[in-house]
Chain A
Amino acid sequence: MILRYLFRRILLLGATVLVSSLIIFLICRLLPGDVARVLLGREAGEAALAALRAELGLDRPLLVQYLDWLRGFVLGDWGIAYSTRQPIRPLVLERLGNSLLLAGATLLLALPLGIGLGVWAGWRAGKPDDALINVSLLSVTGLPEFVTGLLLIDLFAFRLRWLPANSSIRPDATLGEIAPQLALPAITATLVLLAYIARLTRTGVINELSQEYVRTAMLKGLTPLTILRRHVLRNALLPTITVIAISLGWLISGLIVVENVYNYPGIGRLLTFAIDRRDLILLQAIALITVVIFAVANLLADLMYALLDPRIRLGDE
């Protein structure tokens, strides 16, 4: 039964990813510019270019190219990057690992902080400290990550000299060496997420506090803190699960800006590289794997939600 349900969800997820893959493929084919030219440089002759295009399979009908690519992707053969002539899968997976690392570090910062602030603000809704938190969060909201990033580098790397300005992780670096490199990008991304998580949590807490079961708990003679901890939090934080999933998706490629500011070797930076070099096949792989991760994260969030909230019923959408 559960298997059947999972199977159906995965099928649905597959359908979404399939639609996405088609969209990605079509957009990529619309990109102007010429891989062969990028690859051979401006000095290459026409014949060489044509030969290369044929070698890369760029002269076949679109549908054939699409199906070929898709089949390869599913079977784990993601192809050879047009530009660097290196196999795509290890490259993308390595970058993905780095991005996940950064995303993890970000969530590690953003979740406790955002939830903490949100709970505090929700608990004290309408009071001065709530207003203070709201105003601070709002000011943070206003700053795009490319601005905070630059300001943080200036402060922490140049003025205080506490943290490195850059994060080109060495392959053999230990976690202890990586940690300081992760700090600034993670803080920058945190600032983007923080307000979002905190506001959601605050709304959740306020919403739950107005529920009748809170009165029941109060009439049991429980202290406010116990009520918050045992009753309100669990329910108020349920929606946050979804946020984590969405943030994870956002972080994977939404880190484009942050990774570029800090020269962090993640998937976001690889993406800009692929766009810049018109490395369509690399670009497609990055976009599609992002979609897959996004979709899987959402599925996991849904399942988590259903597990944690016994009320959720599953069935045909």
Chain B
Amino acid sequence: MATAILEIENLSVEYHAGRRKLPVLREICLSVAAGETLGIVGESGSGKSTLGLAVLRALPANGRISAGRVLLDGVDLAQTQGATLRRLWSRSLRLIPQNPLAALNPTLKIGAQLVEAIGGRRDAAEAQAAALLARVQIADPERVMRSYPHELSGGMQQRVLIAMALHGAPRLLVLDEPTTSLDVTTEAAVIDLLADLIAERQPASLFISHNLGLVARIATRTAVLYAGEVVEIAPTTTLFQQPRHPYTQGLLRSLPHPGLRYDHHPLQPIEGAIPAPGTLPAGCVFAPRCPLADDRCRRERPPLLAIAPHHATRCHYWHRVMLDGALPAFVVPTTVPSDAPLLTTHRLSKTIAQRQSLTDIARGKPAPAVQALSEVNLTIHRNRILGIVGESGSGKTTLARCIIGLTPPSGGAIELLDIPLAPLIHQRPREHVRRLQMVLQNPQEALNPALTIGEALRRPLIRLGGLDSKTAANRVPDLLRLVKLPPEYAHRRPNQLSGGEKQRVAIARALAATPDLLVLDEAVSALDVSVQAAVLNVLADIKERTGIAYLFITHDLAVVSYLADDVVVMYRGQIVEQGPVAAVLRPPLHPYTEALLAATNPRGVRLREADATGTAPAQGCPFQPRCPRAIGEICRATPPPWREAGVGHRIRCHIPLADLQVAQTHNEPISSEH
């Protein structure tokens, strides 16, 4: 290993909350060399961001480095301040934050913000800014520099911040979940770009993420953070193949690995929750949740043991930690549903008019109307899980809301068991309302903070189950047990629950109505992997027991391949591919599906980033402008036809199926002669 640029020695950080001091980081020791990327992973609240900010000396006002040193090229950052610190900030220390929109001043143009970071003479700085934007693969730097932050897509915003972090000669780059707010396809491109730039500029980098797959792609070494402590650190491949801490092992087991299926391999989530700052247990911080823990663990805090070169773990019993052997790649048979359809949509369409800013109005731009859904036909069967995937803005949520009746479609029809549904929920008979239920994406918003969990669960029983208040109350514990929550939770209020627990309550509430179809809109996306695993298990379990159907919306293909029976791929309000999950995903046919899948593959195909303000072409294939395999004029001129690719498997593309299959398997371009 080259000499370290960054050395963190025994770093401890605490926050002040009123008169209380909350220690959040304890005795962190890390070092990062030039050009090296150190991954930092851990559940939400483990202190990852705090570490990143502490290293940059950019903690919030109530945070303080209480002990330790942060050496950057031998200079202790913890002791610098004032003008010296500002000089370091402007020259060497850089941050790429999670939420690019929030990190940009909303009322200043991009150009001005970049120029300010670069400093020096104005015209020189402007030229350099344009060059930097070009370097981060922004096609039209001039236009972007004249734009306000909100006028750019999330990916573009993040590229701007990356450009901002790259000017001069950065020595330390902290990447705090830089892609969490982005689409999978954009994420892939941004990660590629970051890897390139780190190789080029050779800063020491900290890559913070809760997404283990992502870390694996970019970090050479990875540290696992738990409750403010580094519990394991190792080269990334070692960590993933031979974790030596029960927590690392737990995280890996929670992931839905390719090839696993819900009906055969339940995930193995970590029980319990991360302790809040200030409530650390006496011995090992992980002991309360650890399957290996004994009295010693609860008494005695383990040191960070070096167990191999570059591999250290904070566990008394590291040698007992073992990852299960290689898992059998389970081939999912392509099953086709046999029974009658539960719910069908016919040419369902939805147009949404969008608002404009005054400046746009003044510039004379026409008011955009988004075709959020365009002639969507799909069928959901009993006892099956239909996954819907697609980039952000592809119309997944709109589809779900139209089905439930929360938004009226602007065209088309929905039938439940062959009976047409009224467009809006309050026009539907109560029986229809009962049969279709939905779990929303954000668990923070799903529950009314003013009502107890018990009350939240009782209401659907009363309203839709026809129970009286007392009987309903008696059924609440059953519902809680159904989603693996203790019955005592009935008396709690939402703010006393973690995100995963709230989502489980939301699921229980939706299930209380004993629906025939449960729509889950990104119901697990906001959750930590271990919590996500628990929720997925609950869903699988309930489906097996009740034969309910799910409409499962997600952008995480791993989850879809784990959980779904059938899958629908959406692009800009249209279905581009649909069929049984095994047929659609292994291998993918449609170039769009291919790109979605390839996003997790470092060498996969990449899409050009969609222009947030651009509208779909009026004719031809809507995907054509971004398609890596477009075959020329026909794609631009003619809408693609539906093609049958197998039993129940259809795709909408001009490229002949055979060509697609060949290209997919060999990962090579298709010539445009056809």
Q: A: which residues have CB within 8 A of B?
A: 1-2, 5, 211-213, 215-223, 230-231, 234-235, 238, 303, 306-315
Q: Is the CB of A217 within 8 A of B105?
A: yes
A213 touches B105 (CB 8 A): yes
CB of A25 to closest CB in B, whole Å: 35
Cβ contacts A to B, 24 pairs, < 8 Å: A2-B361, A5-B358, A212-B97, A215-B95, A216-B105, A216-B113, A216-B161, A218-B58, A218-B89, A220-B164, A221-B86, A221-B87, A221-B88, A221-B90, A231-B105, A303-B358, A306-B357, A309-B107, A310-B148, A310-B150, A312-B357, A314-B355, A315-B353, A315-B355
- Pairwise interchain contact B89-A213, C-beta atoms closer than 8 A: no
Contact B99 A313 (CB under 8 A): no
Which of chain B's residues have a CB closer than 8 A to the CB of A1? 361, 364-367
Q: How far is the CA of A218 from the CA of B94 in the complex (A)?
A: 11
CB distance from A297 to the nearest CB of B (A): 18
| B104-159 CB contacts (< 8 Å) to partner A | 104-108, 113, 116-117, 119, 148, 150-151
B103 near A223 (CB under 8 angstroms)? Answer: no
Min CB distance A38 to B, Å, is 49
- Judging by beta carbons under 8 Å apart, are B359 and A307 in contact? yes
Instruction: Flag if B95 contacts A235 (CB, 8 Å).
Output: no
A219 near B56 with CB under 8 A, answer yes
Q: Judge if B417 is at the interface, Cβ distance under 8 Å.
A: no
Tell me whether B87 and A311 are in contact (CB under 8 A).
Answer: no
Chain B 11-55 interface mask (CB, 8 Å, partner A; 1/0): 000000000000000000000000000000000000000000000
Residues on the A chain within 8 Å of B161, using CB: 216
CA–CA, A314 to B148, complex, Å? Answer: 17
With A221-B89, A310-B150, A314-B356 known to touch, is A212 a contact of B103 (CB < 8 Å)?
yes
Q: Is B539 in the interface zone, CB < 8 Å from A?
A: no
Across-interface contacts of B93 in A (CB, < 8 A): 219
Q: Which residues in A have their C-beta under 8 angstroms from that of B75?
A: none
Known interface pairs A213-B106, A215-B103, A234-B107; A306-B87 also in contact (CB < 8 Å): no
Q: How far is the CA of A233 from the CA of B583 in the complex (A)?
A: 57
Closest to B358 in A: A306
B-side contacts of A231, CB under 8 Å: 105, 108
Interface string of B142-182 (1 = CB under 8 A from A): 00000010110000000001001000000000000000000
Across the interface, name the chain A residue whose C-beta is closest to B83: A223
A213 CB contact (under 8 Å) in B103, B355, B356, B362: B103
Residues of chain A within 8 A of B56, CB atoms compared: 219
CA distance A308 to B119 in the complex (A): 25
B116 to chain A, nearest CB (A): 6
Closest B residue, CB atoms, query A4: B361
Residue of B nearest to A212 (CB): B102
Smallest beta-carbon distance A219→chain B, Å: 5
Shortest A211–chain B CB gap in Å is 7
The CA-CA distance from A249 to B107 in the complex, in Å, is: 28
Please measure, in the bound complex, the distance between the C-alpha atom of A218 and the C-alpha atom of B61, giving whole angstroms.
Answer: 13
B91 at the interface (CB under 8 A from A): yes
A237 to chain B, nearest CB (A): 10
Are A211 and B102 also in contact (CB < 8 A) when A219-B89, A220-B89 are?
yes
B105 contacts A5, CB within 8 Å? no
Assess the A213–B358 pair: CB atoms within 8 A. Answer: no
> Do A312 and B105 form a contact, CB below 8 Å, given A219-B56, A221-B91, A222-B86?
no
B54 nearest CB across to chain A (Å): 13
A215-B103, A218-B89 known; 4 new pairs, CB 8 Å cut-off, are: A216-B161, A219-B56, A220-B89, A221-B88
**Do B357 and A311 touch (CB < 8 A)?**
yes
Total residue contacts A-B, CB cutoff 8 A: 103
Instruction: Collect the chain B residues with CB atoms within 8 Å of residue A219's CB.
Output: 56, 58, 89, 93-95
Partner of B116, one of A215, A220, A310: A220
Residues of A within 8 A of B87 (CB): 221
Q: Which residues of A contact B58 (CB under 8 A)?
A: 215, 218-219
Is B90 within 8 A of A220, CB to CB?
Answer: yes
Tell me whether A313 and B355 are in contact (CB under 8 A).
yes
Find out whether the CB atom of A310 lies under 8 angstroms from the CB atom of B86.
no
Closest Cβ of chain B to A307, distance in Å, is 6
Q: Which residue of B lies closest to A1 (CB)?
A: B361
How many Å lie between the Cα of A5 and that of B91 in the bound state? 47
Q: How far is the CA of A220 from the CA of B102 in the complex (A)?
A: 16
Per CB-CB distance, the 4 closest pairs between chain A and chain B, nearest first, are A221-B90, A313-B355, A315-B355, A306-B358
Q: Which residue of A lies closest to B99 (CB)?
A: A212
A26–B361 CA distance with the chains assembled, in angstroms: 40
- Which residue of B89, B105, B148, B354 has the most chain A CB atoms within 10 A of its CB atom? B105
Task: Please tell me which one of the listed residues A217, A220, A310 contacts residue B359 in the complex, with CB atoms under 8 A apart.
Answer: A310
Whether A2 and B362, one on each chain, are in contact in the complex, defined by CB atoms closer than 8 angstroms, is: yes
Choose from B86, B103, B107, B150 the contact partner of A308 (Cβ within 8 Å): B107
B370 CB to nearest A CB, Å: 14
Establish whether residues B86 and A223, one from each chain, have CB atoms under 8 Å apart when the complex forms. Answer: yes
Binary A-proximity of B72-88 (CB < 8 A = 1, otherwise 0): 00000000000000111
> Chain B 341-357, CB within 8 Å of chain A: the 1/0 string?
00000000000011111
Complex CA gap A216/B365 in Å reads 31
Q: How far is the CA of A312 from the CA of B102 in the complex (A)?
A: 16
What are the residues of chain B within 8 A of A308 when measuring CB–CB? 107
Q: In the complex, what residues of A have CB within 8 A of residue B164's CB? A: 216, 220
Given A218-B89, A219-B56, A219-B93, verify A311-B106 contact (CB < 8 Å). Answer: yes
A212 to B101, CA, bound (A): 9
User: With A213-B104, A213-B106 in contact, is A310–B89 under 8 Å at CB?
Assistant: no
Distance between Cα atoms of A270 and B251 in the complex (Å): 76
Q: How far is the CB of B208 from chain A (nearest CB, A)?
A: 15
The smallest C-beta distance from B91 to any residue of chain A, in angstroms, reads: 7
* Cross-chain contact A310 with B102 (CB below 8 angstroms): no
Q: Which residue of chain A lies nearest to B359 when distances are taken between CB atoms in the complex?
A: A310
Residues in B neighbouring A312, C-beta threshold 8 A: 357-358
